[in-house]
Amino acid sequence: MKNILQKILFASFLLASPFAQAQTDEDVEKVADIFETSLTKSSAYEWLRYLCKNIGHRLGGSPAYTAAANYTAQMLDTLGADTVWLQPLKVPYWNRGQVAKVRIVNSQTIGNQDLSCIALGFSGATPRLGITAEIVEVKSIAELEKLGNKVKNKIVFFNRPMDATKVSTFYAYGGAVDQRSSGPRLAAEFGAIACVVRSMTLKQDDVPHSGMTVFNNVKPIPALALGYQSADLLAELLAQEPNLRLNVQTDCSTSPEQTAYNVIADIRGSERPNEIIVVGGHLDSWDIGEGAHDDGAGCVQAMDVLNLFKRLGIRPRRTIRCVLFANEENGMYGATTYAEYAKNNKKEIHYAALESDAGGHSPRGFSMDAVPDAQKNAFAKVQKWREILVPYGLYDLQAGSSAADVGKLRELGTILFGLKPDSQRYFDFHHAKTDIFENVNKRELELGAGAMAAMVYLIDKYGF
């Protein structure tokens, strides 16, 4: 009785508000049912448990990735999707190897000491005994470019931390990640023989965080990330000992392309089946940890949207399609392959796409993106849904971005969304061995699934 009364009171408030043009008491009830079902009957947490504990990390093209694709396809079929299929594609395959070592050599202050490190994706390898050289510390790409050939035969140390003053840690990450993604390539172009980079995290522990570095046509040099405390130690020693030397060892290698799969499942629309609303995440992860927040959480939330629609008997007007993308971490080949499919399939219109790729923490809203005219109209429409979303903590509705995989659909005129969870803890785990199932909160994960399902319900019912 109390729950029914709360719904009635909220409906009365909502319908009296200036945002009530698009909402009805049916919407209030339906969104409440979506969240109630998500918090009591969701399958997302158990799906994530299996992905993490029975399969584990799943680099695109690895046997573990294939196991994850088969498992999620089976689960989507079991929950009653109308169609489920695997879309094959070829992906580059990089092997981390068994050796990753960064050692301070013959310091006048501390002697020899190993630093906490991990190889970056597509790092090159060293000889068996490694590379030993002096270090050049820089804080930015611009600083490296100013030094130019002065870094030849040296080890470049990129040491710009994420900006702790940014409330959104994604802005802090975006302001620092270029030194990891492109810094090693530029260092190699100027003749550096190895590169170490401060990990992209604000957590002051000594767990190193991996991630991709792009060499393009430049021969890869050894490139490793240092833990936060190790980066601090190295910087302090360099201030005292400018001629400090490091020994770096890696045994990374690149193999021939492997086959991976996008996992695709539909609930067919009852009125406009050719109009597609995509929900998704990326199924691959780096080959450390368990890929729990990045992006197992997003995948199981997207799967749960279909699950919640089926459990509640919601028959969508448009086709709701779950896409679990391959190879986001090291090349975006899954997103590119799916976008080409969408572009060439003239029988379908990709109406909207919503991705969760920012962790399984408490949802705070959605970001939006599209070509300018479409974004303006769609964003105005979404603002009318604000009052129905705010009671569930979904107050942050911003235009200007979405998520990486669905971003490939932008040129088709698709209205793009990204789920925005609270960001404060995400980079504690991102690309690290600590990205494990135990660090995902069940209730927060389920709230995210409910948020995605509520947004899809509103998009499907009202359109743009």
pTM score of the predicted model = 0.94
Q: How far apart are CA 179 and CA 388, in angstroms?
A: 41
CATH classification of 97-251 is 3.40.50.740, yes or no? no
Is residue 9's pLDDT more than 60? no
Q: What is the pLDDT of residue 375?
A: 87
Residue by residue, DSSP assigns 206-274 as ------B---TTSPPPPEEEEPHHHHHHHHHHHHH-TT-EEEEEE--EEEEEEEEEEEEEEE--SSEEE
- What is residue 15's predicted lDDT score, i.e. its pLDDT? 43
pLDDT tens digits, one per residue of 380-402: 999 999 999 999 999 999 998 99
Q: What's domain 2-93+256-462's architecture?
A: 3-Layer(aba) Sandwich (3.40)
List phi, psi (to 5°) of 16: -85, -10
Residue 2 has pLDDT above 70, yes or no: no
Q: Is 417:455 a contact under the CB 8 Å cutoff?
A: yes
24: number of Cβ within 10 Å: 14
Residue extent(s) of CATH 3.50.30.30 domains in the chain = 97-251
pLDDT at 374: 86
More confident position, 11 or 296: 296
Higher pLDDT, 7 or 302: 302
Per-residue pLDDT tens over the stretch 103-161: 999 999 999 999 999 999 999 999 999 999 999 999 999 999 999 999 999 999 999 99
**pLDDT tens digits, one per residue of 321-340:** 999 999 999 999 999 999 99
Closest to 360 in 3D by CA, of 272, 451, 271, 274: 451
Confidence of residue 373 (pLDDT cuts 50, 70, 90): confident
For 92, counting Cβ atoms within 10 Å of its Cβ (0-12 exposed, 13-18 middle, 19+ buried), the class is: middle
Query: What digits encode the pLDDT tens for the residues 447-459?
Result: 999 999 999 999 9
Check whether 3 has a pLDDT greater than 90. Answer: no
**457 and 306 Cβ atoms separated by less than 8 Å:** no
Q: Name the packing angle between helices 63-78 and 297-312 (round to 10°).
A: 10
Please, where in the chain does CATH 3.40.630.10 lie? 2-93+256-462
Assigned token pair, 122: 């597509």
Vertex 298, ends 294 and 302: CA angle to 5°?
Answer: 160
Q: What is the mean pLDDT of residues 207-232?
A: 97
Burial of residue 373 (number of CB atoms within 10 Å: 0-12, 13-18, 19+): exposed
CB 75 within 8 A of CB 47: yes
Rg (CA), the chain: 24
- pLDDT given at position 114: 98
264-283 tens-digit pLDDT: 999 999 999 999 999 999 99
What letter represents residue 207's amino acid?
V
As a whole number, mean pLDDT of residues 195-215 equals: 98
What is the per-residue pLDDT for 17? Answer: 46
Least trusted range by pLDDT, from 13-17, 58-62, 266-270, 433-437: 13-17
Q: Cα(57)–Cα(358) distance, rounded to whole angstroms? A: 17
As a whole number, the mean pLDDT across the chain is: 94
pLDDT at 19 over 50: no
Query: Residue 6: pLDDT above 90?
Result: no
For residues 20-47, average pLDDT: 89
Residue 5 has pLDDT above 80, yes or no: no
Residue 462: pLDDT above 80?
yes
